[in-house]
């Protein structure tokens, strides 16, 4: 009877039929027969149309057990998914969630994990959530037309449950512990009970869950040993084996986005063929930056690799190979245009155009290159009217051997000034040039200049005497 009602309640027309039977049929037996007949017709119609993933097919996948076949039943439990108060019955075939409005059958075979969350961050009510995870790749378990990802039973840490099984066994204790014990009775050997482990993950504030958003819904992400769980809405559980890579977006901001690259749901209704064969992304946004390093450590402990855009994860377990292949291609393409040191050929050509032999000589000898002296004409020939000037040039060469790069730079500045003032060059400037402290002793130059001036004066006197004699002869 319960299963027949569940089949009809999964469709709008079925709900209308049940309401009509409740109003018009007073005899319980007749009402039960009508409901059973209508349910069989709905199942037959769904099978004939090949709609294996319809709510009708999912509802009748496992027949709802009768009350007599239940091992134990807990009335009036608060559930977050599906939301409301339900009587929860346990049988070896299924869990039955029922109230006055609906009935949901959860096959025991669809239960993969049971998480006990008794340390919910920022929860002042001291709640304890029993998070019953349903197989994301198995047949859909529907509440009406909505697929259930999990059944979440809400209790308080101080809440106690008492019940007696069909075999006469008494169950008594904290609500979460009693419910886990009941599940163990109907699913022998089940060991996938999980809970947050502070040694595996703890936030910067000491919590076992991280505040995050899934789209516009706020909740908490719990990194567990078997996978990642998000509570409360939407309820999500991702087995670690289904997470192919983890990506951290905007890691420099005050909050970052955690993106998981995961395997797609197998055979999900309404999914396209492309979506079913490609890696999917699940984003948890606005995660506090303080949790970045802790989450990285958690994923490293779970051996979940960071996302590499050059080699994104593939469903066959490999990468695109773009990283290594791209590097090899870049090396092959770049080898033709670069030297061994990585410089371009164009740059070396520019260096050849600026080649200065004197610079090479300076580098080889380890001293500054000697500059040329310029005279008034700028031809590079200096004054050479005496032997003293020649000896001064030799002294200049000896002194230049001790010049360093700084002295050379100063001389170059002086050259520029002398070239600009070439037109106004006179004997005084020539003397000053020759008496450069770096060239020769000033006294030597002065003596040479005086000897030259004396010789010139004597020659003028001889010439004047000759002219006077010629004038006297003419007068005679």
Query: What pLDDT is recorded for position 210?
Result: 97
From 118-127, 168-177, 442-451, the region with the lowest mean pLDDT: 442-451
Residues 242-291 have pLDDT tens digits of 999 999 999 999 999 999 999 998 754 444 455 567 899 999 999 999 99
Residues 285-301 have pLDDT tens digits of 999 999 999 999 999 99
Cβ–Cβ < 8 Å for 424, 377: no
For the segment 293-319, the average pLDDT, to the nearest whole number, is 91
Residues 203-246 have pLDDT tens digits of 999 999 999 999 999 999 999 999 999 999 999 999 999 999 99
> Chain-centre distance of CA 184, in angstroms?
42
CATH fold for domain 1-42+61-194: PH-domain like (2.30.29)
Cβ–Cβ < 8 Å for 403, 396: no
Asked if pLDDT for residue 465 goes beyond 80, the answer is: no
Cβ–Cβ < 8 Å for 71, 185: yes
Asked if pLDDT for residue 357 goes beyond 60, the answer is: no
Higher pLDDT residue, 151 or 380? 151
Taking the C-alpha atoms of residue 192 and residue 108, their distance in angstroms, rounded to an integer, is: 13
Query: What pLDDT is recorded for position 437?
Result: 47
Cβ–Cβ < 8 Å for 148, 155: no
Please confirm whether the linkage preceding 232 is cis (ω < 30° from 0).
yes
Best-predicted range by mean pLDDT among 101-105, 170-174, 360-364?
Answer: 170-174
For the segment 188-215, the average pLDDT, to the nearest whole number, is 96
Query: What pLDDT is recorded for position 13?
Result: 82
Asked if pLDDT for residue 1 goes beyond 90, the answer is: no
From 41-45, 172-176, 408-412, the region with the lowest mean pLDDT: 408-412
> Chain-centre distance of CA 90, in angstroms?
45
Query: What pLDDT is recorded for position 454?
Result: 56
Cβ–Cβ < 8 Å for 107, 130: no
Contacts of 112 (CB under 8 A, 6+ apart): 133, 134, 135, 192, 239
3-state class (DSSP) for residue 164: strand
Taking the C-alpha atoms of residue 141 and residue 271, their distance in angstroms, rounded to an integer, is: 17
What is 210-267+277-306's CATH number, 2.60.120.10, 1.10.3720.10, 2.30.29.30, 3.40.190.10? 2.30.29.30
From 225-229, 281-285, 302-306, 373-377, the region with the lowest mean pLDDT: 373-377
Query: What pLDDT is recorded for position 36?
Result: 80
Mean predicted lDDT score pLDDT of the chain: 75
Query: What pLDDT is recorded for position 303?
Result: 95
> Chain-centre distance of CA 210, in angstroms?
19
Which band of pLDDT confidence, cut at 50, 70 and 90, is reported for residue 368? Answer: very low
Query: What pLDDT is recorded for position 337?
Result: 41
Query: What pLDDT is recorded for position 438?
Result: 46
Query: What pLDDT is recorded for position 281?
Result: 96
Hey, how many other C-beta atoms are within 10 angstroms of the C-beta on 349? 9
User: CATH 2.30.29.30 in the chain, residues?
Assistant: 210-267+277-306
Which band of pLDDT confidence, cut at 50, 70 and 90, is reported for residue 440? Answer: very low
Asked if pLDDT for residue 374 goes beyond 60, the answer is: no
Contacts 24+ apart (CB under 8 A), 129-132: 129/80, 129/153, 129/154, 129/155, 129/231, 129/232, 130/154, 130/155, 130/176, 130/179, 130/180, 131/229, 131/231, 131/235, 131/237, 132/95, 132/106, 132/183
Query: What pLDDT is recorded for position 463?
Result: 58
For the segment 158-178, the average pLDDT, to the nearest whole number, is 95
Phi, psi of 203, rounded to the nearest 5 degrees = -75, 175
Query: What pLDDT is recorded for position 149?
Result: 95
**Residue 290: DSSP 8-state:** G
Which band of pLDDT confidence, cut at 50, 70 and 90, is reported for residue 359? Answer: low
From 95-109, 146-160, 194-208, 417-431, the region with the lowest mean pLDDT: 417-431
Tokens of 18: 């049940």
Packing angle of the helix pair 12-24, 28-48 (nearest 10 deg): 160
Query: What pLDDT is recorded for position 42?
Result: 77
Query: What pLDDT is recorded for position 295?
Result: 98
Query: What pLDDT is recorded for position 342?
Result: 44
Asked if pLDDT for residue 164 goes beyond 60, the answer is: yes
SS (H, E, C) 70-123: CCEEEEEEEEEECEEEEEEEECCCEEEEECCCCEEEEEHHHEEEEEEECCCCCC
Query: What pLDDT is recorded for position 50?
Result: 47
Query: What pLDDT is recorded for position 358?
Result: 54
3-state class (DSSP) for residue 265: coil
User: CATH 2.30.29.150 in the chain, residues?
Assistant: 1-42+61-194
Residues 17-75 have pLDDT tens digits of 888 989 989 888 888 888 888 877 876 676 555 444 455 555 445 667 777 789 999 99
């Amino acid at each position: 009877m319960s299963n027949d009602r569940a089949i009809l309640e999964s469709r709008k027309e079925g709900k209308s039929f049940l309401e009509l039977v409740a109003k018009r049929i007073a005899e319980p037996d007749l009402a039960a027969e009508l409901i059973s007949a209508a349910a069989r017709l709905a199942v037959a119609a769904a099978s004939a149309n090949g709609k294996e993933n319809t709510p009708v097919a999912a509802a009748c996948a496992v027949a709802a057990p009768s009350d007599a076949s239940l091992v134990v039943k807990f009335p009036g439990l608060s559930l977050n998914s599906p939301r409301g108060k339900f009587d929860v019955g346990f049988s070896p075939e299924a869990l039955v969630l029922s109230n006055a409005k609906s009935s949901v059958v959860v096959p025991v075979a669809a239960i993969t994990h049971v998480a006990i969350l008794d340390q919910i961050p920022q929860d002042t009510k001291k709640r304890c959530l029993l998070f019953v995870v349903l197989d994301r790749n198995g047949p859909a378990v529907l509440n009406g037309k909505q697929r259930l990802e999990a059944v979440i039973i809400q209790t308080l840490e101080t809440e106690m449950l008492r019940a007696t099984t069909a075999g006469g066994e008494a169950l008594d204790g904290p609500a979460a512990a009693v419910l886990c014990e009941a599940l163990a009775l109907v699913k022998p050997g089940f060991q996938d009970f999980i809970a947050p482990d502070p040694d595996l993950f703890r936030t910067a504030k000491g919590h076992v869950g991280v505040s995050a958003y899934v789209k516009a819904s706020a909740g908490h992400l719990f990194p567990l040993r078997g996978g990642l769980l998000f509570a409360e809405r939407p309820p999500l559980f991702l087995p670690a084996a289904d997470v192919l890579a983890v990506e951290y977006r905007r890691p420099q901001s005050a909050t970052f986005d955690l993106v998981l690259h995961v395997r797609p749901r197998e055979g999900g209704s309404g999914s396209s063929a492309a979506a079913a064969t490609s890696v999917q992304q699940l984003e948890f946004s606005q995660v506090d930056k303080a949790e970045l390093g802790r989450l990285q450590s958690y994923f490293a402990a779970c051996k979940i690799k960071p996302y590499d855009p050059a080699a994104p994860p593939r469903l066959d377990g490999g990468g695109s190979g773009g990283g290594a292949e791209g590097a090899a291609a870049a090396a092959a393409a770049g080898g033709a245009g670069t030297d061994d040191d990585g410089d371009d050929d164009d740059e070396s050509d520019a260096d050849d155009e600026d080649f200065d032999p004197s610079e090479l000589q300076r580098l080889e000898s380890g001293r500054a290159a000697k500059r040329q002296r310029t005279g008034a004409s700028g031809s590079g020939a200096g004054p050479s009217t005496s032997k003293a000037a020649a000896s001064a040039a030799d002294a200049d060469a000896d002194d230049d051997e001790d010049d360093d790069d700084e002295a050379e730079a100063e001389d170059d500045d002086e050259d520029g000034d002398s070239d600009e003032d070439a037109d106004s060059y006179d004997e005084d400037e020539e003397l000053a040039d020759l008496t450069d402290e770096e060239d020769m002793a000033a006294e030597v130059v002065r003596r040479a200049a005086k000897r030259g001036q004396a010789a010139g004066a004597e020659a003028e006197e001889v010439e004047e005497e000759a002219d006077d004699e010629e004038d006297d002869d003419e007068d005679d």
